[in-house]
Structure 1
Amino acid sequence: MSVRPPLPRRVAPPTPTSDVKKNRAQASSAPSLPPRGPTATGQRKYEDIPDLTRLLARKPPPPPLPAATVSKRLSTLSDMPTPRRGMTLTPFSVAMHLATPATPPTPPPVNLTSKPAFSVEVVEEETTPSCIECRDFSSADAHAACFPRHTIRSVEELAYALAAPFTEEIDKARVAFTWLHHNIAYDTGAFFSGNIQASSAESTLASGLAVCDGYAGLFERLTELMGLQTHKVTGHGKGYGYTALAPGDPLPQVTMNHAWNCISIDGEWRLVDPCWGSGHLGDGGIYTAKFAPKWFTCSPTEFGTRHFPEDPSFQLTPEEFSWEDYILAPESPPIPPIFEELGFTSMTLQPSTKYIPERQFITFSISKRCEHMSTAEEDNYVFVIKTSDKDFTPLRYDNNQGAWTANVFTPRAGTVFLYAVDTIDGQDAFGVGVAAYSQAKGKKGMSFKGLATWTITHL
């Protein structure tokens, strides 16, 4: 892996192609969102987006909306006015209703003569740390589900309706990401026949079908209409049909088979894959629409394990990695979706490679995606390692390492499994703790959820 030359090395993302310029020119003549930032007229204008050389310095995203605010916004959907004759409630009118809060009633005057004659100690409310990994996106995700594709008349109307209740850029980007999951399906017919036609944001919205380029194109157009700076990125993705190279295989030529987005959110460039975030192709080429928020929140380093951009400026990593680094990287242990749903990430799974040596003590460990996520026993399952010739060994949480760990001697051959203890004696085992598990082991029936597997090999 080569070390990047000294800054300034990066430049801003490349100038958009003629097609993108054409789309942006069309968008400029369409209704746009109110500007951002205070002005003399009381409106807001959008801030300048810094270039990429300034964006590797991370800053935490803004805190999530208070739960009371989220509940109030969602409750407004139930008190929409009844349409008059000849009046239709469009996504635009729904968005305007959501964006205009009702005027609160005026409280009665306070009788100051009844003021208590004792002092009250003011205690500052503790705030919960916030970051993109543990941020509450429930408001944006719920709002995205309110606008079925068949009710939408234009991309411009959709962008306004989706963004109307939100002021934070992160929520505007998220609502567009989630809307694509609900309303656009992967075009398996075009993909498997090889008959993939060029698409536009308008054609994707009209058909409800797209391959990766269509997802990235519509996401780019929607977020640009919301006032965000977004680029469509082309490159290679280790997606459906990808097989890791065997040891000794020659280095293949660079190929480009995928598209995703690079977007500036609150002054930070981030990588987003709305296609993989919407669903996936499984065995037999069957498409499953399954929401995968990981592809909205993961770091550039994690993103780069399965994405290689044609333009290296879109890697966004501290060190630039080559095609050889990317395509010859050791294969990771297979993990099912439940692994990430429990708050873990493959980036902190150890061992990090699928193949592990025989007859050695190996430390197995897992840790949460975010330091703000609970590691308390009552908020987690018990995790165990099972080898082909050993009993179940529980992982114990190590505060110094910030991870669940276990040191296990590997057998001569076979497979090592990481499990979560799902049930004990027919009851949900979530939160039971290692002590209760150890007491029940061998005495009560148990079931397990598979989280990862490693293959024993002679190295």
Structure 2
Amino acid sequence: MADVEEPKFNSLSDRIAALNGQKNFTAPPPSARRRPPPPPPGKPIAQVIASDTNALVTSKSPSLPARPQKPIVPSLPQRTNTSGPTSQNSPSLPMRDAPPPLPGRKNSTLPSPALPARRASTQPFPSRRGSNSSDVSHISTISNLSLNPVSSRTSTTSTETQPTRRFLAPALDQAKLPPLPPSRKEGEVQAAQRAAEREAAEVIKAPLLSTRSAPVVPHVGSRPSLPPRLPSRPGNSPAPSQVDGNSSVSSRRLPPPPSAFVRPASTFESLKTHSTASRGPRDEAPPPVPISSRPTFAQIDAVTVRASVNEVKSCLLCRDFSAPDSVAAQYPSHSLPRHDPVGYLASVLCGPFQSPTDKARAIFTWCHHNIAYNVEEFFGKCIKGRSVDETIFHGKAVCQGYAEVYRAIAERAGLQCVLVSGHGKGYGYTPLGSGEPPPRKNPTGHAWNAVCIDNGEWKLLDACWGAGSVGNQQYHKGFNPKMFCLSNEQFGLKHFPSNEAYFFRSDGRIPTWEEYYIGPMQAEKAEFYGTAGDEGVSEYTFSPAEKHIPVYSGEVVRFQFSKICEHWDPERHGKGKSYLLLIKIQGVDGRKEDMVPLETDGFWWWTDIPARDLGAPGQNVFLYALTTVNNKDARGVTKEEFFRTKSGGGYSMSWAVFAKWELA
């Protein structure tokens, strides 16, 4: 091979360019380089190492494995609205179905319809207002649409050849509004005018001035004016109770006022003296009655009978209940059907009567005849709960059973009836001593009923206490009609309901627990026995009502009480004529017993005795009723007959105790 002359280069850059142009040229491996010199004292080591990083990596660093290459992410397809090399490389997406082309628009050869020519406005406009003019602009009240209305049709082919009519708005007139109220100043002016008119219309009278120099002229023969009369008591109102310390049965007749006590020389004083003293005021002749205004005897009798019948019918104490009481005694419990005894009793007891009062009385009396108080379970503290049917056939119950039976029969008979629970001053009740506080309020332990009777009146009754009484852990059967006939005020003196709505007082008042438990009096009441109530004597009109009577008070003690009502007749409503009532006293210092009869006018009983003549402190004073004289019934015996019997000697008498007081 012939030698090829190497080209000569004039400079190093020419040689490098020639070598780069050769295709088979390979650069020689780089020679090992020296370590870099230590860094200068002021230069940080990190900069020295970073300045020659390639040398350190080549000489000292171990070979590192190749880094894994990142996966090639496919490029996103190029959008159709872009241009450039990117769009050429990215794959094209499949083409969507193009929508059908819109139909070509036909060129309309018809000319557009011309708008009608605008007519000149004929509205007269006033000349321009000045800046200081206060006239209202008339142009602002005219609507543009009202001047040139535009057709609401949208057709472009129609042409309007007729000119449009213009309508003007109606003229503005004043609205008819109500007048405004007067202002405060105007109201004051009007009020002053009205006051002036009233003063002008009134007659002004001069005031009467008293003159001291005027002498007082006495009216000779003038009669003082009487006070207004009190309204008479209505016939259908129940007797008021002694809640405020007053007598519970008010009467038109009052007993005579206390007088000086004239003690007889002995109890065997002559009969003539007593009869003369009692007849003294009665010998006076009454004033003459005008003959012209005097009614006939037939008219007097008719009015008297009619008034007495109405009063007796409205008063439960004097009402004749013989018919319902006789019906109630005909159906004993052992004769009742076993199926629905309540419905049967409601039919046979209440069916014969129209009056709700008679129906209520028949049920009340039937409970007395057929149900006894269950003293075994009560004192044994093992009271069992029974249904109404079981109680009727068992024949025994406590107060709750009585009330449930009464309510069941009354409701089946069509009466309105409720069961009332609360506290009763019955067995186990002890009156409070002087100054003793009442116990904590606890209206429990007893049950009774309230039933709606005639005239829609609610009546309180106690069928348990009306059937009998309990004493010495034994039941004493005895009919007590007072538990049906008492007024609600009197009934509430011994019954306190747990629900205050069941007092049913005529005055609507609700007594407190302390008022009920202590009673209408703070002091202890005198002892009153039931035998007096059977004879028509009212325990609510007793005087003195206190149990203890001071002996050395120097006063005259009035013993006074009345019948249960004005029209109570002992022969028609009771057991016969009234007994003679007497006060048994012990004499001065308790050295001599004596009997003082009471005066009576048919409604009141009374007598006046000096306190010292009653006896010594610690002794008792009794109210007696003379029951037998010489082994004969003493009903109807008068005071004169009593003194005559005692003066004759050789007699025998027996007494019944009605009341008792203690001397202090």
> Does TM, normalized by the shorter one, top 0.5?
yes
Work out which of the residue numbers 274, 278, 302 in structure 1 matches 2:463.
Answer: 274
How many residue pairs match? The answer is 338
What is the match of residue 34 of structure 1?
none
Q: Please list, as runs of the form range in 1=range in 2, the aligned pairs for 1:106-185 lying within 5 A after superposition.
A: 126-127=305-306, 128-129=308-309, 130=312, 131-153=315-337, 154-185=341-372
Which amino acid counterpart does residue 358 of structure 1 have in structure 2?
V
Which amino acid counterpart does residue 396 of structure 2 have in structure 1?
L
SS of the residue corresponding to residue 439 of structure 1 reads: helix
Which amino acid counterpart does residue 604 of structure 2 have in structure 1?
A
Deviation of 1:351 after TM superposition, in Å, equals 1.8
Q: Please list, as runs of the form range in 1=range in 2, the aligned pairs for 1:430-441 lying within 5 A after superposition.
A: 430-441=635-646
What is the match of residue 398 of structure 2?
211
What is the match of residue 313 of structure 1?
501
Q: Please list, as runs of the form range in 1=range in 2, the aligned pairs for 1:46-445 lying within 5 A after superposition.
A: 59=236, 126-127=305-306, 128-129=308-309, 130=312, 131-153=315-337, 154-255=341-442, 256-266=444-454, 267-282=456-471, 284-317=472-505, 318=507, 319-329=509-519, 330-359=523-552, 360-374=555-569, 379-389=577-587, 390-398=593-601, 402-409=603-610, 410-413=614-617, 414-442=619-647, 443=649, 444-445=651-652
Deviation of 1:203 after TM superposition, in Å, equals 2.4
Which amino acid counterpart does residue 585 of structure 2 have in structure 1?
T
Say if 2:581 and 2:624, in contact at 8 Å, map to a contact too.
yes
Please, which moves more after superposition, 404-413 or 137-146? 404-413
SS of the residue corresponding to residue 392 of structure 1 reads: strand
SS of the residue corresponding to residue 433 of structure 2 reads: coil
Deviation of 1:430 after TM superposition, in Å, equals 1.0
Q: 1:251 to 1:437 in 2, by over 3 A?
A: same
Say if 1:216 and 1:261, in contact at 8 Å, map to a contact too.
yes
CA distance in 1, matches of 2:547, 2:535: 21
SS of the residue corresponding to residue 431 of structure 1 reads: coil
Say if 1:398 and 1:405, in contact at 8 Å, map to a contact too.
no
Deviations 1:70-113 (A, max 9, x none): xxxxxxxxxxxxxxxxxxxxxxxxxxxxxxxxxxxxxxxxxxxx
CA distance in 1, matches of 2:351, 2:480: 24
RMSD: 2.3
Deviation of 1:432 after TM superposition, in Å, equals 1.9
SS of the residue corresponding to residue 515 of structure 2 reads: helix
Deviations 1:410-434 (A, max 9, x none): 3332111001111223322211211
Deviation >6 Å, runs of 4+: none
Which amino acid counterpart does residue 379 of structure 1 have in structure 2?
K
CA distance in 2, matches of 1:237, 1:189: 20
Max radius of gyration: which structure?
A: 2
Deviations 1:141-198 (A, max 9, x none): 1110100101112111111111121111111000100000000111112111222233
Deviations 1:187-235 (A, max 9, x none): 1121112222333322211311110011011111111111111111111
Give me the TM-score of the superposition, normalised by structure 1.
Answer: 0.69
Please, which moves more after superposition, 218-227 or 249-258? 249-258
SS of the residue corresponding to residue 586 of structure 2 reads: coil
CA distance in 2, matches of 1:142, 1:341: 19
Structure 1 unaligned blocks of 5 or more: 1-56, 62-120
SS of the residue corresponding to residue 441 of structure 1 reads: helix
Say if 2:433 and 2:524, in contact at 8 Å, map to a contact too.
no
Deviation of 1:345 after TM superposition, in Å, equals 1.8
What is the match of residue 19 of structure 1?
none
Deviation of 1:358 after TM superposition, in Å, equals 2.1
CA distance in 2, matches of 1:362, 1:310: 40
CA distance in 2, matches of 1:148, 1:275: 17
Deviation of 1:398 after TM superposition, in Å, equals 4.2
Which amino acid counterpart does residue 478 of structure 2 have in structure 1?
K
User: 1:456 and 2:663 equivalent?
Assistant: yes
CA distance in 1, matches of 2:631, 2:396: 43
Deviation of 1:365 after TM superposition, in Å, equals 1.4
User: By percentage of residues, which structure has more strand?
Assistant: 1
CA distance in 1, matches of 2:551, 2:413: 55
CA distance in 2, matches of 1:335, 1:60: 25
Which amino acid counterpart does residue 557 of structure 2 have in structure 1?
I
CA distance in 1, matches of 2:320, 2:415: 21
Q: 1:361 to 1:411 in 2, by over 3 A?
A: farther
User: 1:447 and 2:654 equivalent?
Assistant: yes
Deviation of 1:375 after TM superposition, in Å, equals 7.7
Deviation of 1:124 after TM superposition, in Å, equals 5.0
Say if 2:586 and 2:616, in contact at 8 Å, map to a contact too.
no
CA distance in 2, matches of 1:59, 1:233: 25
RCO higher in 1 or 2 (8 Å CA, sep ≥ 6)?
1
Give me the TM-score of the superposition, normalised by structure 2.
Answer: 0.49
Q: 1:227 to 1:375 in 2, by over 3 A?
A: closer
Which amino acid counterpart does residue 417 of structure 2 have in structure 1?
T
Please, which moves more after superposition, 134-143 or 318-327? 318-327
Structure 2 unaligned blocks of 5 or more: 1-233, 239-297, 588-592
Say if 1:58 and 1:268, in contact at 8 Å, map to a contact too.
no
